[in-house]
Amino acid sequence: MRAPITAKGALRLRAELDELKSVQRPAVIAAIAEARAHGDLKENAEYHAAREQQGFIEGRIKQLESELSHAQVIDVATLDAGSRVVFGATVEVADVDTDESRTYQIVGDLEADIKQGLIAISSPVARALIGKHEGDSVTIEAPGGTREYEIVTVRYLG
C-alpha cells in the first residue's frame, strides 16, 4: 500500500531533497577534497567529519527519494468530507475536563511534526478521530492517562 502524504508535505520533502542535492552534497564533496589536500587521512579529523556528513546526506537523499516514489500525494483542498474526519483534515478538539483546545492536521507518517500540529495518521490520536464528526466526543489513551475530547471543528485546508 502506498503511504499517503499531503500535497504540502510532498512539496516540503521535495524542497529538502533539492537542498540536499544542489547545496549540501556539493559542499560536503568540496570539504572532502579540501581535507584530502591536507595530507595524511588517518589523523585528519576534518576528512572523517566530512565523510560522516556525506554518509548522512546520501542516506537522507535515498530515504527521501524512496519515500516520495512510494507515496500517494493527496490534495487536501479537493477533499470534501463535510464534518467527517478523514486524512488531511484539520481538526480542533477541546479537552472535556479542562476546556483547553488544540488544533491538529492529520497527515502522512512522513510529514508528521507535533510541534507544528501535524499528527501522523497512524498515531493513536488520529486513529481515534478518523471517521468521527463535528460535535462527537472521542476518548484517547494518552501516556498520562485517558483523555476525553470533543471535536469542535473539522476543516479541509490546502
Which of 74, 102, 126 corresponds to the end of one domain?
74
Same domain, 141 and 129: yes
Split into its structural domains, the chain has a count of: 2
- pLDDT grade, residue 158 (50/70/90)? low
Tell me which amino acid residue 11 is. Answer: L
**Residue 68 to residue 75: CA distance in whole angstroms:** 15
Q: What residues make up the domain containing 29?
A: 3-74
Tell me the per-residue pLDDT of 19-44, one tens digit each, with 9 for 90 and over: 999 999 999 999 999 888 887 777 78
Same domain, 8 and 69: yes
* Pair 97, 52: CB distance under 8 Å: no
- pLDDT grade, residue 154 (50/70/90)? very high
Same domain, 151 and 81: yes
Q: pTM of the prediction?
A: 0.77
Same domain, 50 and 105: no
Same domain, 63 and 81: no
Sheet holding 90-95, edge to edge: 118-120, 101-107, 90-95, 145-155, 137-142
Write down how long the chain is.
158
Q: What is the average per-residue pLDDT within 130-146?
A: 89
Q: Other CB atoms closer than 10 Å to residue 129's CB: what's the count?
A: 24
Same domain, 95 and 134: yes
Place of cell 502506498: 2
Q: What is the average per-residue pLDDT within 6-10?
A: 92
Which of 74, 100, 131 corresponds to the end of one domain?
74
For the chain, the average pLDDT equals 91
